[in-house]
Amino acid sequence: MTMTYANPTRRQLLTMIGQVAGAGAMYQAMTSMGFAAESGYRGTPELQGPRQGRRVLILGAGIAGMAAAYEMQRVGYEVKILEYQDRSGGRCLTLRGGDRYTEMGGHEIACDFQGDSYLNAGPWRLPVHHRAVFDYCRRLGVQLHPFIIKNNSAFLHSASAFDGQPQRIGDVEKDMRGHVSELLSKALNQGSLDEAVTLEDREKLLEGLKGWGVLNSRYAYRASDATGGVRGWDIPPGGGLMPEARPSQPTDLSALLQSGLWQQLFGFNSYSFEPPMFEPAGGMDAITDAFAREVEDVIQLNARVTRIAQGDDAVTITYEDGGRGGTVREETADWCICTIPLSVLAQIEVDCSDAMRKASAAVPYASAFKVGLEFRRRFWEQDDGILGGVSYTDLPLVQIAYPNYGFLSDGPAVLQAAYDTATGGRSFTYSWSSMTPQERIDAALALGRQIHPQYDAEFLSGTSWVWHRVDWSLGCYGQWTQDLRDQHYETLCKIDNRLVLAGEHCSHIPAWLEGSLLSALDAIKRLDQRENA
pLDDT confidence tier of residue 437, bands split at 50, 70 and 90: very high
- Distance separating alpha carbons of residues 83 and 321, to the nearest angstrom: 10
Tell me the mean pLDDT in the region 466-495. 97
pLDDT confidence tier of residue 424, bands split at 50, 70 and 90: low
- Distance separating alpha carbons of residues 356 and 314, to the nearest angstrom: 18
Answer yes or no: are the C-beta atoms of 500 and 526 closer than 8 Å: yes
pLDDT the model gives residue 39: 62
Residue 385 pLDDT > 80: yes
Residue 489 pLDDT > 80: yes
Fold of 169-256: de novo design (two linked rop proteins) (1.20.1440)
Tell me the mean pLDDT in the region 77-105. 98
Helix axes 63-74, 513-531, angle to 10 degrees: 40
Q: Domain ranges in the chain?
A: 55-85+286-363+478-531, 96-127+144-153+275-280+366-469, 169-256
CATH class of 55-85+286-363+478-531: alpha beta
Count, residues in the chain: 533
What amino acid is encoded at 77 in this protein? Y
pLDDT the model gives residue 267: 83
User: Residue 164 carries which DSSP code?
Assistant: G
Q: Is 320 left (phi over 0), alpha (psi -120 to 50) or beta?
A: beta
C-alpha 36, offset from chain centre:
20
- Distance separating alpha carbons of residues 303 and 320, to the nearest angstrom: 6
Tell me the mean pLDDT in the region 223-240. 96
Helix axes 199-212, 169-189, angle to 10 degrees: 150
Burial state string for 371-382 with b = 16 or more CB within 10 A and e = fewer than 16: bbbbbebbbbbe
Span 347-368, pLDDT tens digits: 999 999 999 999 999 999 999 9
Residue 370: name the closest of 129, 173, 123 by CA: 123
pLDDT confidence tier of residue 430, bands split at 50, 70 and 90: confident
Q: What are the residues whose beta carbons fall under 8 Å from the beta carbon of 159, sequence distance 6 or more? A: 393, 394, 395, 450
Q: What is the phi/psi pair of residue 279, to 5°?
A: -150, 155
Residue 3 pLDDT > 60: no
Q: What is the phi/psi pair of residue 203, to 5°?
A: -65, -40
Tell me the mean pLDDT in the region 217-236. 96
pLDDT the model gives residue 426: 63
Answer yes or no: are the C-beta atoms of 113 and 374 closer than 8 Å: yes
The pTM of this model reads: 0.90
Residue 428 vs residues 263, 295, 419: alpha-carbon distances, Å = 18, 39, 9
- Distance separating alpha carbons of residues 146 and 46, to the nearest angstrom: 31
Residue 279 pLDDT > 70: yes
Span 175-221, pLDDT tens digits: 999 999 999 999 999 999 888 989 999 999 999 999 999 999 999 99
- SS3 label, residue 57: strand
- SS3 label, residue 130: coil
CA angle 342, 48, 504 (to 5 degrees): 20
More confident residue, 40 or 503: 503
Answer yes or no: are the C-beta atoms of 100 and 110 closer than 8 Å: yes
Residue 38 pLDDT > 60: no
pLDDT confidence tier of residue 35, bands split at 50, 70 and 90: very low
Pairing between β-strand 78-82 and β-strand 55-59 as defined by DSSP bridges: parallel
- Distance separating alpha carbons of residues 260 and 441, to the nearest angstrom: 27
More confident residue, 23 or 483: 483
Which of 24-38, 78-92, 442-456 is the least confident region? Answer: 24-38
Tell me the mean pLDDT in the region 123-133. 96
Partners of 81 in beta bridges: 58, 299
Residue 52: name the closest of 531, 533, 525 by CA: 531
CA angle 356, 358, 360 (to 5 degrees): 65
Q: What are the residues whose beta carbons fall under 8 Å from the beta carbon of 335, sequence distance 6 or more? A: 54, 55, 56, 57, 315, 498, 499, 500, 527, 531
Radius of gyration of the chain (CA): 26
Average pLDDT of every residue of the chain = 92
What amino acid is encoded at 265 in this protein? L
Asked if the domains at 55-85+286-363+478-531 and 96-127+144-153+275-280+366-469 fall in one CATH topology, the answer is no
Q: Could you say which of 3.30.70.2190, 3.90.660.10, 3.20.20.70, 1.20.120.140 is the CATH number of the domain covering 96-127+144-153+275-280+366-469? A: 3.90.660.10
State what percent of residues in the chain have pLDDT above 70: 92
| Three-state secondary structure of 503-529 | CHHHCCCCCCHHHHHHHHHHHHHHHHH
| Three-state secondary structure of 81-123 | EECCCCCCCCCCCEEECCCEEECCCCCEEECCCCCCCEEECCC
- Distance separating alpha carbons of residues 328 and 399, to the nearest angstrom: 44
Span 323-345, pLDDT tens digits: 999 999 999 999 999 999 999 99
pLDDT confidence tier of residue 115, bands split at 50, 70 and 90: confident
Which of 15-29, 144-158, 213-227, 422-436 is the least confident region? Answer: 15-29
Which of 37-46, 143-152, 227-236, 439-448 is the least confident region? Answer: 37-46
Taken in order 464, 466, 470, 472, is the CA torsion positive or negative? Answer: positive
Residue 6 pLDDT > 60: no
Answer yes or no: are the C-beta atoms of 412 and 155 closer than 8 Å: no
| Three-state secondary structure of 229-284 | HHHCEEECCCCCCCCCCEECCCCCHHHHHHHCHHHHHHHHCCHHHCCCEEEECCCC
C-alpha 380, offset from chain centre:
23
Q: What are the residues whose beta carbons fall under 8 Å from the beta carbon of 190, sequence distance 6 or more? A: none
- Distance separating alpha carbons of residues 156 and 303, to the nearest angstrom: 45
- Distance separating alpha carbons of residues 200 and 214, to the nearest angstrom: 21
Residue 320: name the closest of 105, 82, 36 by CA: 82
